[in-house]
Amino acid sequence: MNVHIRTIAREDILRQYRWYLDESGPELAERFLNAIEAAIETLRRRPDIGAPQPFQNPLLAGLPSWPVPGFTIIRVYYLRAAGSILVVRVLHGKRDIHSILEGDQEGE
């Protein structure tokens, strides 16, 4: 299964990586990147594993998410399509997830 990561999702990952780098140092930041890779690989192999999330926007209804191992407050939000996974966002649970995703109209 192919995996595509939206630019904004890559920015989410980089923003969180930089935060860990600044706040906790390179070891935790690298562990975060490895955990992101593991989460995405899990989704690539088992795309139906994620828990659907409730949203008001019908375009997002049932949008699944999957926790990043070891960083479970951070979740990968993704869409499944025939033969591919699209990583929509990678967001920390303390952010206003619903507002971010409901207001996210950028397509890629």
In tens, the pLDDT along 77-91 reads 998 888 899 999 999
Q: What is the pLDDT of residues 38-70, one digit of tens each?
A: 999 999 999 999 888 777 777 777 789 999 999
Helices (H) and strands (E) in the chain, counts: 3, 5
pLDDT band at 105 (very low <50, low <70, confident <90, very high): low
Per-residue model confidence (pLDDT) at position 104 = 66
Residue 48 sits in a domain whose CATH number is 3.30.2310.20
Domain assignment present for 108: no
pTM: 0.86
Domain assignment present for 10: yes
Domain assignment present for 89: yes
Q: Nearest 5 degrees, angle CA 79-CA 83-CA 87?
A: 30
Q: What is the total count of domains within the chain?
A: 1
Domain assignment present for 32: yes
Q: What's the chain's Rg over C-alpha atoms? A: 13
SS3 95: coil
Per-residue model confidence (pLDDT) at position 103 = 67
The pair of three-digit structure tokens given for residue 49, joined into one six-digit string = 């594993």
Domain assignment present for 38: yes
